[in-house]
């Protein structure tokens, strides 16, 4: 059985799961407790340097999945979503995580607005 690499439902599930996992680990002490429990508490200071980029790149995967589910309406978000994820990762590290919650909520809202836009474009195409 062959699997389609660009399966939008699978991409959406993995992207949302990764983004929610990263957000949960960033904003709660869950991962700190787990890492300290296995004796790696020296790594806890560096977790955010990996988790925030993971979160933003998972949201880029969600944008790609939404675009695929909408029937490839508009330009492919792979390049610009990845560039935005990289820029947000650099920005959040550069400002030393000061506005991390606001930037993260803004990224989630932006993906939600993009989903709404794609849905509207898809319904507009269906009526024509």
User: Where in 46-109 does DSSP place strands (E)?
Assistant: none
Q: What are 66-119's pLDDT values in tens digits?
A: 999 998 888 899 999 999 999 999 999 999 999 999 999 999 999 999 999 999
Residue 105 sits at the vertex; the CA angle it makes with 94 and 75, to the nearest 5 degrees, is: 90
Query: Confidence class of residue 3 from pLDDT cuts 50, 70 and 90?
Result: low
Q: How far is Cα 64 from Cα 57, in angstroms, rounded to an integer?
A: 11
Give me the pLDDT at residue 45, please: 86
Query: Confidence class of residue 9 from pLDDT cuts 50, 70 and 90?
Result: very high
Mean pLDDT of 15-22: 96
**What contacts 49, CB < 8 A, 6 or more positions away?**
93
Contact 68, 8 (CB under 8 A): yes
Q: How far is Cα 52 from Cα 55, in angstroms, rounded to an integer?
A: 5
**128, pLDDT greater than 90:** no
Give me the pLDDT at residue 52, please: 96
Question: What's the pTM value of the predicted model, to 2 decimals?
Answer: 0.89
Structure tokens at 113: 């607005």
Q: What is the dihedral of CA 35, 56, 117, 6, to 10 degrees?
A: -80
Give me the pLDDT at residue 1, please: 44
The ranges assigned to domains in the chain are 8-121
């Amino acid at each position: 059985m062959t699997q389609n690499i660009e399966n939008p439902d699978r991409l959406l599930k993995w992207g949302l799961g990764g983004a929610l996992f990263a957000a949960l680990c960033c904003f709660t002490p869950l991962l700190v407790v787990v890492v300290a429990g296995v004796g790696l508490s020296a790594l806890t200071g560096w977790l955010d340097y990996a988790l925030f980029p993971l979160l933003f790149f998972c949201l880029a995967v969600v944008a790609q999945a939404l675009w695929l589910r909408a029937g490839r309406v508009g330009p492919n978000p792979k390049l610009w979503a990845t560039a935005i994820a990289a820029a947000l990762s650099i920005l959040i590290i550069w400002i030393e995580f000061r506005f991390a919650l606001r930037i993260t909520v803004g990224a989630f809202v932006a993906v939600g607005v993009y989903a709404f836009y794609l849905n509207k474009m898809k319904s507009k195409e269906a009526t024509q």
